[in-house]
Amino acid sequence: MNIIETENKYTSGLYAKQTLTIVRGQGASLFDVDGIEYLDCAAGHGVANLGHAHPKIAEALFKQASTLITLFESFPNDQRAALMEKICGLLPGLDRVFFCNSGTEAVEASFKFSRISTGRKNIVAAMRAFHGRTYGSLSATFNKKYREGFEPLVPGFCHVAYNNIEALDKAVTDETAAVILEVVQGEGGVYPANVDYIQAARRICDERGAFLIVDEIQSGFGRTGRMFAIQHYGVTPDLLTCAKSLAGGVPMGAVLIGRNVKNLTPGVHGSTFGGNPLSCAAAMAALTVIEEEGLPAQAEAKGRYLMEKLKKIESPNIREVRGLGLMVGIELKQKVAPYIKALQEKRIIVLNAGMTVIRLLPPLVISYEQIDHLVDLLTEVLATEQKDE
């Protein structure tokens, strides 16, 4: 079978397909059909924080798959109970959890919980925000590229400038159910929030009786140097959404729920696959690995090392280097697409964040040698202006 031709024939058409077929992963490396190694600085859009093919995840999956894969959450289960206890011990004040299967589902649930709990309708989100592609999440997502053609979106949503306390202060009223913020905007260009902004968001929400939702789908599970990015800010949200690397690469989402959230009674919300024992076993293994291998501390140290090196690159094409931990953006003065292609030709896989930002989300297990290699090749590629053919 010709893999590329077959995918091109049967694809929905929703993805701009690469001409590179990946069949295997190991740590921070991916391998193509011919066994050629690529350095993965995308981690499946921030999913593979533990690296690829982690033996502890494989072992947990094998064991649980041969025990019990599926069970609706109305029946208690050993794997789910253990994970619930573990995940609710991560952030003081967030001591209940709803499990689902993806990031966008976690965001949807956080909006439903906010509305049912406060009896209010309005949600305030930020410009440049990305929260997912289903209707509620899409209504909170800012970029019109994702929204156009899908209107009418859900009523009650508005967007305000990010990192702007005055704009948030004006937008939040006594009819606001929730404010939703990424602590580091990912898709929107890798912009970390200022500490005073997040603290002001907490204060404004408290004053007006609105919830603060933090979307940690991309920034969670060690990526920014703490288990959750919000821990850099000394603030407890009412709801925290997570997914991506929660279960070591197995699809899973979750909402951590604060003490003021009420009216979550049987039937109000739910999910067929949510909290299935297979995903729960994988997530438990992932959280154990994150703690045992000290991945947040690794992300902090490696992120600092990477950013220092990136800031030393002398290139007329770089506008700014920014980020938190191993969530790093390199903003260029021109479009990044040809640079990303040039890097891929040198066997480095990176992401974009919008048109002008190269986004680096490597597995947190990336080695210092691999970071040096990445910086060497970035330096080479960024030395000259790359143009679209």
Ligand X SMILES: Cc1ncc(COP(=O)(O)O)c(C=O)c1O
Q: Which residues bind ligand X (CB under 6 A)?
A: 45, 102-104, 107, 130-132, 182, 186-187, 215, 217-218, 243
Nearer to ligand X, 182 or 300 (CB): 182
CB of 308 to ligand X, least distance (A): 26
CB of 27 to ligand X, least distance (A): 22
CB of 346 to ligand X, least distance (A): 25
Nearer to ligand X, 349 or 382 (CB): 349
Nearer to ligand X, 49 or 102 (CB): 102
Nearer to ligand X, 38 or 142 (CB): 142
SS3 track for the chain:
CCHHHHHHHHCCCCCCCCCCCEEEEEECEEEECCCCEEEECCHHHHCCCCCECCHHHHHHHHHHHCCCCCCCCCCCCHHHHHHHHHHCCCCCCEEEEEEECCHHHHHHHHHHHHHHHHCCCEEEEECCCCCCCCHHHHHHCCCHHHHCCCCCCCCCEEEECCCCHHHHHHHCCCCEEEEEEECEECCCCCEECCHHHHHHHHHHHHHHCCEEEEECCCCCCCCCCCCCHHHHCCCCCCEEEECHHHHCCCCCEEEEEECCCCCCCCCCCCCCCCCCHHHHHHHHHHHHHHHHCCHHHHHHHHHHHHHHHHHHCCCCCEEEEEEECCEEEEEECCCCHHHHHHHHHCCEECEECCCCEEEECCCCCCCHHHHHHHHHHHHHHHHCCCCCC
CB of 184 to ligand X, least distance (A): 9
Query: Are 352 and 338 contacting, i.e. CB atoms less than 8 angstroms apart?
Result: no
CB of 101 to ligand X, least distance (A): 8
Nearer to ligand X, 216 or 238 (CB): 216
Nearer to ligand X, 340 or 382 (CB): 340
Q: Which residue is nearest to ligand X (CB)?
A: 103
CB of 80 to ligand X, least distance (A): 20
Nearer to ligand X, 183 or 382 (CB): 183
CB of 219 to ligand X, least distance (A): 7
Nearer to ligand X, 104 or 279 (CB): 104
| Alpha carbon distance 221, 287 (integer Å) | 8
Nearer to ligand X, 125 or 204 (CB): 125
CB of 241 to ligand X, least distance (A): 7
Residues 6+ away with beta carbon under 8 Å from 277: 64, 67, 68, 69, 70, 71, 77, 78, 79, 80
CB of 125 to ligand X, least distance (A): 11
